[in-house]
Amino acid sequence: MKATINPSSARSNASLNLRNWLSHLADTDRLEVTRDGISLIDELAAVSKRLENRSAVLFPKPDGHAIPVVSNIFMDRGSIAESIGISEKDLLKRFQSAVRNRLPWVEVKDAPAQEVVHRKVDLLKQLPIPKHNEHDSGPYITAALLIARNPKTGVQNVSIHRCQVNGPDRIGVLLLPRHTLHYFKMAEQSGEGLEMALVIGVHPAYILASQAIAAVDEDEMEIAGALLGEPVEMVKCLTNNVRVPASAEIVIEGRILPNVREPEGPFGEFPQYYGPRADREVIHVEAITHRKDAIFHTIVGGGVEHLLLGEIPREATLLDHLQRSFASVRDVRLTRGGTCRYHLVVQIDKTSNGEPKNIIMGAFAGHYDVKQVVVVDMDVNIDDPNEVEWAIATRFQADRDLLVVSGAQGSKLDPSSDGGISAKMGLDATKPVEAELMKFKRIHVTGEEAVDLSQVLVSDPKAALANIVKG
């Protein structure tokens, strides 16, 4: 399956990298560059936060470091869709289809990612690693793909974890109970470390794919290939058997140490609170490789880029899950106010009363993070929080349309939960199927959309007013 590519017969996907995406953002006026020497501690994250939603930011010589840092490579849903060459309305559909129809990667021999090799490692000297939120314990690598191999089968997993710098060649890493931890436990039980790599600075689609809610042993780089319609080119690490994207800017090779835990945290997280300090797994770094003119990508914890990256793959998965049982479900959104994890809006083409409550229960089961579900009709714009609130204000009665479940599993990072035990709330904000047509008919002014203001308005309103009001 992972055949070595024949360069004469295969099209290279060397263009699918971070730097070409940055050039595209610059060409479309969405890349800012700072003066040299912005501080890696707090200042870089502060500038990034001020420009989130608006533009990517490139920081040359941060704290005098030779390698520049880039942040905010995603600004909104539209820029994510653009990075994979599709329109925003097709985003969830394309992601669903890429998860279902993965495209195996190919192996190459030469990689820009390995132009420069450091076998004597000093993380903070060799890489510009920022500190982001106020009470973060220190510098964190936040935008690295952690690629690890199933110790038995060699199948790879790709995910993003917060990585605290613990020493010149040591990284503390938070492994939630998903696939990387599963592979690590397998290795640790046989008394071994888990070979892995941290990959920094890749094409946006690779980062998006890493966040897919895929099954264990479904390689996320195959989802990345399917998203772009081209197999990803991978190269073998120099010190272990992990394969990494050849077009990456920077690769940190190492292993997660068996039977070692060190304090990690606090770290500013997506709910806009700090994830607590605790004893966590530790990576020993064995080599760093990078491009000659490498760029380091960072994501500010809890910032827009962080929220968006979690949002799209979760929405695609929840939509898939709901559509399996409910033909009326058309679209879903995890709202910004709900941290792009906790609050879900489901849009349906309603055909039967009662079904919204079944859909609410289905959504609770779709992901344990989901805490509130609002079901709305097709005439509500689910990208506009005011429209969703309007639907609740005019189509919902709490004694009839509210569903509450106590003591369910929720998010441990929700500070209002009881250590992750959480209540769930569902709101059916849909019209009754049998409603009389005019009762829920939205008001509308005929011709509003068609008005051409340039044909209607005069160019000098001040003069026109003076002409009318003479006294």
Binding segment for Mn ion among 23-31, 37-45, 95-103, 174-182 (CB under 5 A)? 174-182
Binding segment for Mn ion among 3-11, 178-186, 193-201, 286-294 (CB under 5 A)? 178-186
Considering beta carbons, is residue 179 or 243 the nearer one to Mn ion? 179
**Shortest distance, position 187 Cβ to Mn ion, whole Å:** 16
Question: What's the distance, CA 374 to chain centroid?
Answer: 23
**Shortest distance, position 211 Cβ to Mn ion, whole Å:** 10
**Shortest distance, position 213 Cβ to Mn ion, whole Å:** 8
Considering beta carbons, is residue 34 or 96 the nearer one to Mn ion? 96
Number of residues that bind Mn ion (CB under 5 A): 3
Sketch the per residue contact string, 194 through 233, with Mn ion: x for CB under 5 A, - otherwise. Answer: --------------------x-------------------
**Shortest distance, position 2 Cβ to Mn ion, whole Å:** 17
- What φ, ψ does residue 215 adopt, rounded to 5°? -80, 160
**Shortest distance, position 244 Cβ to Mn ion, whole Å:** 16
Considering beta carbons, is residue 142 or 157 the nearer one to Mn ion? 157
Cα–Cα distance between 141 and 161 in angstroms, integer?
Answer: 9
Residue 392's identity, in one-letter code, is I
**Shortest distance, position 136 Cβ to Mn ion, whole Å:** 26
User: Looking up tokens 């890349």, which residue turns up?
Assistant: 31
Under the binding rule (CB under 5 A), the answer on residue 162 touching Mn ion is no
Residue nearest to Mn ion (CB): 179
Report the residue from 179, 203, 306, 321 that binds Mn ion according to the rule CB under 5 A: 179
Considering beta carbons, is residue 155 or 402 the nearer one to Mn ion? 155
Question: What's the distance, CA 349 to chain centroid?
Answer: 28
Binding segment for Mn ion among 136-144, 152-160, 363-371, 438-446 (CB under 5 A)? 152-160
Binding segment for Mn ion among 25-33, 179-187, 236-244, 260-268 (CB under 5 A)? 179-187
Contact 338, 367 (CB under 8 A): no
Q: Whose CA is closest to 73, among 267, 251, 300, 314?
A: 300
**Shortest distance, position 157 Cβ to Mn ion, whole Å:** 4
Contact 305, 72 (CB under 8 A): yes
Q: Which residues pair with 200 in a beta bridge?
A: 144, 250
Binding segment for Mn ion among 3-11, 122-130, 154-162, 455-463 (CB under 5 A)? 154-162
Considering beta carbons, is residue 22 or 144 the nearer one to Mn ion? 144
Contact 263, 277 (CB under 8 A): yes
**Shortest distance, position 83 Cβ to Mn ion, whole Å:** 21
Considering beta carbons, is residue 179 or 371 the nearer one to Mn ion? 179
Q: Whose CA is closest to 105, among 5, 21, 213, 252?
A: 5
DSSP 153: T
Considering beta carbons, is residue 83 or 157 the nearer one to Mn ion? 157
Considering beta carbons, is residue 179 or 321 the nearer one to Mn ion? 179
DSSP assignment of 200-266 equals ES--HHHHHHHT--PPTT--HHHHHHHHHTSPPEEEE-SSSS-EEETT-SEEEEEEEEEEEEEEE--
Under the binding rule (CB under 5 A), the answer on residue 317 touching Mn ion is no
User: Looking up tokens 């849903």, which residue turns up?
Assistant: 77
Binding segment for Mn ion among 123-131, 153-161, 199-207, 408-416 (CB under 5 A)? 153-161
DSSP 130: P
Considering beta carbons, is residue 131 or 179 the nearer one to Mn ion? 179
**Shortest distance, position 20 Cβ to Mn ion, whole Å:** 26
User: Looking up tokens 């509210």, which residue turns up?
Assistant: 402
DSSP assignment of 328-377 equals TEEEEEE-TTTTTTTEEEEEE---STTHHHHHHHHHHHH-TT--EEEEE-
The contacts of residue 452 (CB under 8 Å, 6+ apart) are none
Considering beta carbons, is residue 30 or 179 the nearer one to Mn ion? 179
Helix (H) or strand (E) holding 298: none
Considering beta carbons, is residue 162 or 395 the nearer one to Mn ion? 162
Considering beta carbons, is residue 157 or 411 the nearer one to Mn ion? 157
**Shortest distance, position 216 Cβ to Mn ion, whole Å:** 6
Which is it for the CA torsion 445, 446, 451, 453, positive or negative?
negative
Binding segment for Mn ion among 20-28, 157-165, 332-340, 371-379 (CB under 5 A)? 157-165
User: Looking up tokens 């199948």, which residue turns up?
Assistant: 155
**Shortest distance, position 429 Cβ to Mn ion, whole Å:** 35
Go through the chain and tell me how many residues it has: 471
Contact 211, 251 (CB under 8 A): no
Under the binding rule (CB under 5 A), the answer on residue 157 touching Mn ion is yes
Q: Whose CA is closest to 175, among 207, 151, 213, 148?
A: 148
DSSP 121: -
**Shortest distance, position 99 Cβ to Mn ion, whole Å:** 11
Name the residues that contact Mn ion, by CB under 5 A: 157, 179, 214
